[in-house]
Amino acid sequence: MDSIQFSRVEDVDFVLSRNKAVRLLRKEHAPLIIAFLWGSFKEQHRQTYPAGELTTRLSDLLFSINDPEPRFPRPARYYLETWTQEGFLRQYYEEQADEATFELTPATERALLWITELEQTSFVGAESRLLQVFQLLRDLALGTTQDKSLRLEQLRAEKERLEREIEALENDEIQRLDSTRVREQYFLIEEAAAKLLSDFRQIEENFRLLNAKAREEQITKAASRGAILDDIFDAQDAILETDQGRTFSAFWAFLMNQQRQDELDEWTRQLFTLPELAQLRRRSAIPRLKMSLVTAGDRVNKTTDRLVEQLRRFLQSRAALENKRVAQVITEIEQLAIRVKEEPPNDKRFFAIEHQPDVHLVMDRGPYEPPQAPRLITRGIQTGRGQMVPTHTLYEQLYIDPAELRGRIKTLLRGRDQISLQEVVEAIPIEKGLSELVAYFSIATDWEGKHKAVIRRERRQRLFYTQAEETYFIELPETIFMA
């Protein structure tokens, strides 16, 4: 599907009709759903519930609401099952667990986060937000510029500011944030932490979708194990190579640093010693932030582990089926041999094999030969002159990484059924000239046999690229990549 344009009524209607977060807010019993899920998960700082415990909590809430007039006559378990079917809750079984486990879905996380932002706060932290935007803009501009003088100027200014601050502290001139700024920055931190925890639901959901897609391909695709595994690992690599996947990997490495964890604990402890924030500790998620992040990240890792376990079971089941089929064929051959043993065929060539058998015998392998270490002759070596070495050739090497190009195609295909080579080149311009275009076309040729690409040789498309400030074009058969 093409990109959504929110200025079109049809596109807005499409988004509102299919988005589960919007469907939750449109439900007749939305106040009950939101109040119960917020009180059970967010206020209690819980990510999962056993089915029995969550059913008991909902039963208690329904009992208090239905007195004296019954507004929700159904049993609690019915509502939980209904909310699960509608995509507001996820129900699954942990390994060796006797009862199901419930957790919020990414759509419900977004709905709860959005509805809490509707509450009018006592003040809006405009200054902190402006400073945050300013800082991010400055870091981005300095991190991407190639202007050495500009970066030196900014670093010297930062150095002078730090020196002035150090000098002030040495002279016992301590400037403390006022109460307004303290609360303002605290609420900004709490908002960012809530969104961060909500994002992990979506990351975990993405990996679960990959797992489901892998299982579907196992069932529906009549291909070899190698071909299916290749597709599955390509899909997994595509997710890990996306911005979201790379960000999660960097986050996990950062969080697993013990020094960072200790700093987070210390800053959190200091934060709630402030008199302005002492009353907020009980309902705040900040004191539990480290454990919440570790738990959320661990759940994502466990999801990937389950994917590997699914692949292992797939290999075992396919191998068992293949072995069973081989045994069945051998039995059929033996039965046919018994039938004709009394009157064997006269023609010696009474059967034919379509292809020559590929026989690999153990004795065909030669004995092991240890590698010989090269002998370097160091006598007579003279000191050369570095000025005579043409070092510019080191910078003229050209290498096209097909894996990177495949990753680009799969990234652009997300949410779409197909994309043409022309659209790929327009979205990510050619950097290495004609060789890069040839590599793209080679990938399309390889994928054509896997029914993942179509090359329409009767139609042509013109592709443009720039090299050495000159624009070139080449005409190729129309090439389309498919999801």
* pLDDT tens column, 200-212: 777 777 766 766 6
Residue 1: band (very low, low, confident or very high) from pLDDT cuts 50, 70, 90: very low
Name the pairing type of β-strands 453-467 and 48-50. unpaired
The stretch 279-296 carries a mean pLDDT of 73
453-467, strands of its sheet edge to edge: 418-420, 470-482, 453-467
- Chain length of the chain: 483
pLDDT of residue 33: 92
Architecture of the CATH domain 9-115: Orthogonal Bundle (1.10)
Torsions phi, psi for 27 (to 5 deg): -65, 150
- The amino acid at 291: M
* Rg (the chain; Cα; Å): 32
Give per-residue pLDDT as tens, 10-34.
888 888 888 888 889 888 888 999 9
Domain map (residue ranges) of the chain: 9-115, 120-169, 192-314, 396-482
- Indicate the pLDDT class of residue 89, thresholds 50, 70 and 90: very high
In this structure, of 28-32, 72-76, 145-149, 422-426, the range with the lowest mean pLDDT score is: 145-149
Which pLDDT tens digit goes with each residue over 248-285? 677 777 777 778 778 877 887 887 787 777 777 777 77
Predicted pLDDT of residue 315: 61
Is residue 84's pLDDT more than 60? yes
Least confident of 156-160, 210-214, 324-328, 373-377: 210-214
Contact 443, 419 (CB under 8 A): no
Query: What is the per-residue pLDDT across 459-469, written as a single tens digit (0 to 9) for each?
Result: 888 888 777 77
Specify whether the CB–CB gap between 51 and 101 falls below 8 A: yes
Residue 218 pLDDT grade (very low, low, confident, very high; cuts 50, 70, 90)? low
The vertex-98 CA angle with 94 and 99, nearest 5°, equals: 75
Residue 239 confidence class, pLDDT cut points 50, 70, 90: low
**Model pTM score:** 0.47
When mean pLDDT is compared over 50-54, 145-149, 194-198, the highest value belongs to 50-54
